[in-house]
Structure 1
Amino acid sequence: MEICHGVKNALGILRVAVKLGCPRIIAVCVDYLEAVPWEEAEEEEILNTIPSMGSKVEPVLARLQPVNPTAVMKIFLAALQFATSSPPSPLNDLKNTAQEQLEYMLTEDDDAPLLSADEEIKLEVMRCVKKLLDRFNSIVESLLCDLQESISDSGKMQSLHSCLTDLLWACQILGKLEIIRDFVCSWTELSMKLVTIVQQKDGENQILKTKLKVLEVTAKVLEAIGYGIVVLPTVKRLHMVKLWLPFVRTMKPLVDSVSEETEEDLTLKFDSEIWQSLESAFVAIILTLSSVDQTDILTEWLENQQIRYPDLTEAFEVWCYRSKVAKRRLATLGEEHNTAKAV
């Protein structure tokens, strides 16, 4: 092994040894390369070099071989359990890594996902996310009780923020697996309680960060509703608009002002794409409601001082067009209906 002195040098010696047919030197180089760590560039060079050298050097590639589906499933489920758990804070970085890698496993990029989203995976993900939602609901109920008794518990608010972070990640996974419906329904049911809690908490940076995290999750939920990914009854769609529209409207100037005052605090920066996503989702949902409900919402918007955001201009334009042509459209439908009855 003394002849190798590094991966690059060992590869050079190995090339010569293979060309000259020196089995002992080949064995030494193979044993060395199989045992030592590789840098990323070295790994690429190994991949470009070793496969053409035959079976005698195959042990070098053992760490790069595809894993069988059973083993992949085993590590996925173990990582999923940890990613949706509530470990002590020193393990949060490990938990974040588990979440990132689970998302990566399911992502289709230049390569196919590491595992196919079969029913077993979907059921296990749904089960783990339900446990996460149950934990979140317990925190929300506990904070509501504290609110009624005028108790302030920063530890519970931190737990709420942590759980919201996990739920935002869960939205990504559920979306990839196309199983977000139960999550959307649960968030819809929890929304009133959640707004009640976060609206009562003002001033502190941590509370503002928690409110922003609430908005991020809500944006995912409203997108799913607005674009028909999850179909909800009219009453629930109306509820979500009437509840979250005022909240989002008051949050935008607040976040903008805080961001201007504390430019160094990057944790309070909020992705402009999320504001746009919320606005687009509101417009999409509003346009699915009855003309009467649209009228109420748009009237309130036009009379509100915070008319600039969310900008419901598109919904207003569509409402104007639909309202203007409604009688002509429905008259035509009525004539067709009467003709059909006469026949």
Structure 2
Amino acid sequence: MRAGRPRIGDRATSDVVVRLRTPEGRDEWLYCHSAVLAAGSTYFAERLSDDWPTCQILGSRYCVEVYCQELDLSSHVNALRLLYAAEPCSRFGVRGALGVLQAAVHLGCAQIAAACVGYLESSPWDEADEEEILRIVPPLGRTGPARELKSAAQEQLEYMLTEDDDAPLLALDNDGVKSQVKDCVSGLLSRFSDFLTSILSNQKEPPFGGGDGELRQELHSLICDISWVCQVLSKLEMMKFLVLYWVGVSSDVVQAVEAVCTGFDCLKTRLKVVEVSAKVLEAIAFGNIVLATEKRCHAVNVWIGFAGRTKSFVDQADRADDDSIETEKVNLDNEVWQVLESAFVSIVLTLPSNSQAEILSQWLQSKHVKYPDLTEAFEAWCYRSKVAKRRFSFLSHMDRVS
């Protein structure tokens, strides 16, 4: 017990009652202390503030009601007890720590959630525990601690797929592994498509609830997951699966991002979109993925404009002196911009001459002509057009004779 801290359940010193309620009608009353609750929980800090209308019961005490599911009741009790004591999360085991993590996220107990994540990252998982983690953690993806846990899991999987002096822990040519990966990626892309549809349909309520901030967070989280999936698919030589999807939804992605991320807002999200597009276009330009001409032309038309606008935002942010923009001064590695530019040039050069002329004409008239730089493609088109005109000049001669 921390020295000098009051004890939970001490009615003599308690100034607030926490009433845990479930849909089944079960109640749990805990006598607590407002100073402890407000210091460790953003939920209680808000509920106990002067700005929140509260109900006074038991004389001068406040009463704060917290609603939770029946199965989560004990986890909420444990989370409240942890606000009073420095008890290690390991005492609860993997399943218990997951329950406390959910309750901590619900109540905004950042330190407790971080302690749960630290324990889960270092503890051994069996198959049943792993299934439980995969069931519980994704819905918490918008929270910091849950993102850390997901990031740790992604790093572990990347390590298992990495070829070095030792053999990778997962066989890259294993059909079972590829089938599982394809199913998981299909689920992710399905959720992303639903999310895009919700944005583009202009529903009154944003997807997954919440306001514009939550909408942006969800978009960023999904794009980050797709970016990470690119790495896994590349190692498993399964990029074609994502390439076909991304090219098909390119217009919807741009339209949704432009609607949610205006101006300097969400620059990190825009850059993540550019990162995914660079990997997709690189696979088309330099990989073994063959797409029909109209699909290659469509992909180039969509992403040249988006990349140019995003690069312009980055350059403006770098030049800006406004403190409000300072926090958004982020960028991609120069290699990513170079790879994307090279992919644009390579794909344009594979298109029919009239398609090249249309794309290059739009590029020359764009205010974002500095990036991407398609000068190489333009010079090649000029040379080929001149040579072709000279070689096929006999056709115009035949027309005059006829």
Contact 1:81 1:128 in 2 (8 A): no
Partner of 1:126: 182
Matched residue type, 1:107: T
Partner of 2:74: none
2:173 pairs with 1:111:
no
Contact 2:247 2:295 in 1 (8 A): yes
Match of 1:241 among 300, 306, 310: 300
1:85 Cα offset (Å): 3.9
Match of 1:286 among 335, 338, 348: 348
2:360 pairs with 1:298:
yes
Task: Write out per-residue CA displacement over residues 140-190 of structure 1, whole angstroms, 9 at most, x where no aligned residue.
Answer: 1111123x7597632122111101111100000001100111211111121
Which is worse superposed, 129-138 or 84-93? 84-93
SS at match of 2:201: helix
Contact 1:225 1:231 in 2 (8 A): yes
Match of 2:222 among 163, 171, 174: 163
- Aligned mates of 2:149, 2:329 — CA distance in 1: 20
Match of 1:268 among 330, 354, 357: 330
Partner of 1:140: 196
- Aligned mates of 2:238, 2:294 — CA distance in 1: 22
SS at match of 1:200: helix
Q: 1:178 to 1:74 in 2, by over 3 A?
A: farther
1:331 Cα offset (Å): 9.4
Task: Name the structure where strand makes up a greater proportion of residues.
Answer: 2
- Aligned mates of 2:313, 2:307 — CA distance in 1: 10
Q: 1:160 to 1:326 in 2, by over 3 A?
A: same
Cα RMSD over matched residues?
3.2
Q: 1:327 to 1:196 in 2, by over 3 A?
A: same
Partner of 2:267: 208
2:310 pairs with 1:310:
no
Q: 1:305 to 1:92 in 2, by over 3 A?
A: closer
Q: Aligned residues: percent identity?
A: 46
Partner of 1:176: 235
Contiguous gaps of at least 5 residues in structure 1 = 1-72, 333-343
Contact 1:249 1:306 in 2 (8 A): yes
- Aligned mates of 2:187, 2:267 — CA distance in 1: 26
Contact 2:158 2:232 in 1 (8 A): yes
- Aligned mates of 2:201, 2:283 — CA distance in 1: 31
- Aligned mates of 2:233, 2:391 — CA distance in 1: 40
Task: Write out per-residue CA displacement over residues 65-121 of structure 1, whole angstroms, 9 at most, x where no aligned residue.
Answer: xxxxxxxx979x969957994445232111101111211211112333222111111
Q: TM-score, normalised by structure 2?
A: 0.58
Task: Write out per-residue CA displacement over residues 216-247 of structure 1, whole angstroms, 9 at most, x where no aligned residue.
Answer: 11111111111243211111111111111111
- Aligned mates of 2:255, 2:204 — CA distance in 1: 14
Partner of 1:217: 276
Q: 1:267 to 1:306 in 2, by over 3 A?
A: closer
Q: 1:242 to 1:204 in 2, by over 3 A?
A: closer
Contact 2:317 2:326 in 1 (8 A): no
Partner of 2:388: 326
Matched residue type, 2:200: L
Contiguous gaps of at least 5 residues in structure 2 = 1-125, 395-402
Task: Name the structure where helix makes up a greater proportion of residues.
Answer: 1
Match of 1:258 among 302, 317, 322: 317
Contact 2:360 2:378 in 1 (8 A): yes
- Aligned mates of 2:372, 2:135 — CA distance in 1: 38
Contact 2:353 2:381 in 1 (8 A): yes
Q: TM-score, normalised by structure 1?
A: 0.67
1:276 Cα offset (Å): 1.0
